Structure 1
Amino acid sequence: MWALFFFFFFILHLQVVCSSFSPSPILCSPEQSVALLHFKNTFSLYEYGSGFCDGYPKTESWKEGSDCCLWDGVTCDTFTGHVIGLDLSSSWLRGSVNDDSSLFLLHHLQKLNLACNNFLESQISSRFGKFTKLTHLNLSDSNLFGLVPTEMFLLSHLISLDLSNSGLSMDQHGFNKLLQNLTEIRYLHLDSVDMSTVSTGSLVNLSSSLISLNLKNTQIQGKFPKEIFLFPFLQTLILSTNRDITGNLPEFNKCSPLKVLDLFGCNFQGSLPSSLGNLTEITYMDLSWNGFTGQVPTSLSKLVQLTWLSLTRNNFSGKFPDVLGNLNKLETIDLSFNNFSGQLPTSIFNVNGLLSLDFSYNQFQGQFPTQISGLPYLGDIKLNNNF
């Protein structure tokens, strides 16, 4: 019996020793390696092609004869060897992705990031719609141009789509396809995509599973649906620099997950609801350059996670509730160019981490706050044009 035990132990030890000296198998198939190298060779490298994005030429590590699964920016399935991820963001690429690009031979791609490169104002190929397994696609800041092909919105497994900051546009037909097929989308970032022909009313049909929605500077027009503010998982909502978006804030639900609300430069009207205090997770709120009126509710005191608050260039009036001392994470506050009156809300000067404060162009009155001397980080304060 003992002899049998030592025999099996010897065999097991031999296998371990042999495996430690055997070379690691190459995962990447020759076809995928050739496709990636051909894709690499269709671009030149230009250090400033990534705009303001920091980066480096990832494809310089790609060498013929080596395992492409070890190349910078390439991710492979550890069982099949298929290339399932390609991250060439900020890689100094200068060129275009045409219909005949070898990129489209990578049929198993699940994540593709080509952000922050220079594609020379070329159009998005309709063949991107062939990546049926894609869950994440990022083509932002890549100098693309023209109408987003509807084939892009057939990628029904997309969880994240970012087309921001290029010269792209989207019409109502394309957006309807997006609404119809991208039912699993969680992150939709279309900053600066021209959506001037898309109705805001159709936004209500977006997936209620959205976590982040960025429609900054899209030229979209019409009344913004209140329902979107109340999506149960929505953490980031950015609508800034859309002067033709109108609407009112809703009654916010308790335990709202909103963390970022940016309505800068829109055309929202009405007063702030007292339910604003339900946004207990919010860290960034910019309601500036709108048409809000009335008084600010005292429930503002519940927004204890706020680091940034801007209400400038509205038509708020009355006394500002002196509850800012509760917001001890606040770093920047701007109440300028409104019609606030009464005593200065001096509790703000008990917030030790304050960096910037602007209460100018209101009707505040009272003594100059002596507590300012106790704020170690305050570098900018404006109280001019008050009483």
Structure 2
Amino acid sequence: MAPPLITNMASGGCLLFFLLFSSFSALSFALTDAEVAFIAHRQLLALPEDGDLPENYEVQVDAKLNFENDRLKNAYVALQALKKAIFSDPFGFTVNWEGEDVCSYKGVFCAPALDDEKLTVVAGLDLNHADIAGHLPVEMGLLTDAALIHLNSNRFCGIIPRSFRRLILMHEFDVSNNRFVGSFPEVVLEWPSCKYLDLRFNDFEGELPPELFHKEHDALFLNHNRFTSIIPDTLGHSTVSVVNFGFNNFTGCIPRSIGNMKNLNEIIFMNNQLGGCFPPEIGNLGNLQVLDVSNNVFIGSFPKTFLELRSIEELAVGYNRLTGFVTEKICSLPKLANFTFAYNYFSGEAQKCMPNPKNKVKFDDTGNCMPGRPKQKNTKTCFPVVTKPVDCSKHCGGGSSTPDKPKTPRPQPPQTPKTEKPPTPKAEPPPTPKAEPPPTPKVESPPTPKAEPPPTPKAEPPPTPKAEPPPTPKAEPPPTPKAEPPKTPEAEQTSEAEPPQTPEVEPPQTPEVEPPQTPEAEPPKTPEAEPPKTPEAEPPQTPEVKPPPTPKVEPPPTPKAEPPPTPKAEPPPTPKAEPPPTPKVDLSCVYC
């Protein structure tokens, strides 16, 4: 018998070796991007053009091999093709995948066929946590008796082949925690009896097909992918008890049809771009135990129907833009154990909702706008949100899942200013300057000069795009005065940069037509309607233009008298300037 010291040293050495090996395994088996690309390329080269097997596909094997039935022969072909598609098998899961006895292969399960108990078939494949790197060959479509395929926590790349549509007995399909890519694998929609579908932790992208929620799934995991669509309104048809949409790029609102999901126990929306108000139909989910909508952009407050969530245990709404008051009733739901409403814009809460170590319920109210509570937002941050009322009737509170996107065409409203209608009403002010007898006739004269100096209109078109963008935003309200004064002094500069000023001169220069009030001193120089234009031909008169700047405080209104004509040419630029407006759920028990 070995001395205790030697035994302890031996056991300690084994433990150290095990830890070192485990660390090495964790660090050395990750695929590089180059390896992923290589494996995906291998799959593309091996796949038929349509990713499916020919209808008349003939299975060919070594004549020396004897199989109990053709289905086992097909399974042999499928599994050997999978073995050849493996790039790395660090734990040797497929080492014994040799010979015709496929039922002895590690990870392969056989059972009597459902349609003929006398036949033994491959009913399942379980390679969970094998850390295998490779791709799925098209021949796997030959496993037509498989009801279970578990491939989670491996390093499979590429796509789910079209040939998988043949696996019509599929009941559980788990390819989570791999590196699959492409759009949603619609082959799974052709499995009539699939109950468990797990696609999480991959790189699937694009839209979710509405048909997905017409399938009779019990558990559906879509989290940690790259899906970007709205959540279809067909959601309410789903029979799932657990569904996870988290960590994607879903937009829009929660569909109202969610209230029809009578079997629903857990639903996760966290870490997306979902918004709008909560649909009141959520209150119909009497069996709901977990609701997580954190890290989105929801607005509004809790619907009164939330008080009907009598089975809710976990309620997480943190990191949104919710407002209002957190009532005692919602904090007193009978089975509530954890309620997180941190980092919103709630302005108050009932005493019952305040975090307290003595409470059985865990509350988190940090990062809100509650006076007197610790770790809240400052007033400057809260005021713009808290004081802005939310109309949920316009924010998906009771509408479809497509939210405020239609409002994105907000660039169109800015186009209305393109007509510069505001200036047209301001056309009334011009009469005030017209009240000055001398200027009024001069207002009429400007048009004539406009005909006289054709060059100015020639300069006007180009300038309008260049000068108008800045003026338009600024020119609508106060900027007009700001635009005119500087420009009149800049009349000297117009010699070099008249184009920019001329545009502004045109709208504001009309006022400069009023500045022609300088003609009040020199009536004959009424062409001072050309002051802006004078820089082109009468630089000496520019000094006289400078005196008018003082009265140009009055001109601002008048420019708006003639803007209507100019805007017709100016609108195009304005649009170009306007555009700126521009798993918590542990499912290990689901099938225990």
TM-score by length of 2: 0.46
Residue segments in structure 2 that go unaligned for 5+ positions in a row: 1-67, 379-592
Are residues 1:105 and 2:170 paired?
Answer: no
- With over 3 angstroms needed to count, the CA separation of the structure-2 counterparts of 1:302 and 1:327, relative to structure 1, is farther
Provide the C-alpha distance between the structure 1 equivalents of 2:256 and 2:153, rounded to a whole number of angstroms. Answer: 34
**Which of 188, 199, 215 is the aligned partner of 2:220?**
188
Provide the C-alpha distance between the structure 1 equivalents of 2:358 and 2:285, rounded to a whole number of angstroms. Answer: 18
- With over 3 angstroms needed to count, the CA separation of the structure-2 counterparts of 1:37 and 1:266, relative to structure 1, is same
Of Structure 1 and Structure 2, the greater helix share is in 2
- Counting only pairs closer than 5 Å after superposition, residues 34-183 of structure 1 correspond to structure 2 as 35-47=78-90, 58-60=93-95, 62=97, 64=99, 66=101, 68-69=102-103, 71-78=105-112, 79=117, 80-99=119-138, 101=139, 103-120=140-157, 122-171=158-207, 175-179=209-213, 182-183=214-215
Displacement of 1:254: 6.7
Alignment match, 1:209: 239
**Which of 241, 244, 253 is the aligned partner of 2:271?**
241
2:258 aligned counterpart, secondary structure? helix
* Residues 278, 302 of structure 1: 8 Å contact kept: no
**Which of 287, 292, 295 is the aligned partner of 1:257?**
287
Displacement of 1:223: 2.2
Displacement of 1:329: 5.1
Alignment match, 1:347: none
User: What per-residue deviation string (whole Å, max 9, x for no partner) do you get for residues 245-289 of structure 1?
Assistant: 333142554771112211111122222234434333333221011
1:152 aligned counterpart, secondary structure? helix
Alignment match, 2:320: 290
Provide the C-alpha distance between the structure 1 equivalents of 2:285 and 2:154, rounded to a whole number of angstroms. Answer: 40
Alignment match, 1:20: none
Alignment match, 1:319: 349
* Residues 208, 232 of structure 1: 8 Å contact kept: no
Alignment match, 1:223: 253
Provide the C-alpha distance between the structure 1 equivalents of 2:226 and 2:285, rounded to a whole number of angstroms. Answer: 34
User: What per-residue deviation string (whole Å, max 9, x for no partner) do you get for residues 31-52 of structure 1?
Assistant: 53454344234314455xxxxx
Of Structure 1 and Structure 2, the greater strand share is in 1
Displacement of 1:233: 0.7
Provide the C-alpha distance between the structure 1 equivalents of 2:318 and 2:194, rounded to a whole number of angstroms. Answer: 33
1:119 aligned counterpart, secondary structure? strand
Provide the C-alpha distance between the structure 1 equivalents of 2:130 and 2:100, rounded to a whole number of angstroms. Answer: 22
2:137 aligned counterpart, secondary structure? coil
* Residues 240, 264 of structure 2: 8 Å contact kept: yes
- With over 3 angstroms needed to count, the CA separation of the structure-2 counterparts of 1:309 and 1:58, relative to structure 1, is farther
* Residues 272, 297 of structure 1: 8 Å contact kept: no
Structure having the higher Rg:
2
**Which of 354, 361, 386 is the aligned partner of 2:376?**
361
Displacement of 1:228: 0.9
Provide the C-alpha distance between the structure 1 equivalents of 2:351 and 2:327, rounded to a whole number of angstroms. Answer: 7
1:161 aligned counterpart, secondary structure? strand
* Residues 270, 293 of structure 1: 8 Å contact kept: yes
Residue segments in structure 1 that go unaligned for 5+ positions in a row: 1-25, 48-55, 345-358, 364-387
TM-score by length of 1: 0.68
* Residues 74, 83 of structure 1: 8 Å contact kept: yes
Question: What residue identity is the alignment partner of 2:196?
Answer: S
Provide the C-alpha distance between the structure 2 equivalents of 1:65 and 1:128, rounded to a whole number of angstroms. Answer: 23
Alignment match, 1:8: none
Provide the C-alpha distance between the structure 1 equivalents of 2:104 and 2:351, rounded to a whole number of angstroms. Answer: 59
* Residues 177, 201 of structure 2: 8 Å contact kept: yes
Alignment match, 1:12: none
User: What per-residue deviation string (whole Å, max 9, x for no partner) do you get for residues 83-106 of structure 1?
Assistant: 22222121111111132x3x2221
1:228 aligned counterpart, secondary structure? helix
* Residues 236, 260 of structure 2: 8 Å contact kept: no
User: What per-residue deviation string (whole Å, max 9, x for no partner) do you get for residues 73-128 of structure 1?
Assistant: 333224432122222121111111132x3x222111112111211123x1221112
- With over 3 angstroms needed to count, the CA separation of the structure-2 counterparts of 1:229 and 1:302, relative to structure 1, is farther
Displacement of 1:337: 0.7
Are residues 1:199 and 2:230 paired?
Answer: yes
2:79 aligned counterpart, secondary structure? helix
1:317 aligned counterpart, secondary structure? strand
Q: CA RMSD in A?
A: 3.2
Question: What residue identity is the alignment partner of 1:184?
Answer: E
Question: What residue identity is the alignment partner of 2:126?
Answer: D
Provide the C-alpha distance between the structure 2 equivalents of 1:319 and 1:235, rounded to a whole number of angstroms. Answer: 27
Provide the C-alpha distance between the structure 2 equivalents of 1:333 and 1:247, rounded to a whole number of angstroms. Answer: 22
**Percent sequence identity over aligned pairs:** 22
2:226 aligned counterpart, secondary structure? coil
Question: What residue identity is the alignment partner of 1:189?
Answer: F
* Residues 141, 165 of structure 1: 8 Å contact kept: yes
Displacement of 1:185: 2.1
Question: What residue identity is the alignment partner of 1:39?
Answer: L
* Residues 216, 241 of structure 1: 8 Å contact kept: yes
Question: What residue identity is the alignment partner of 2:297?
Answer: N
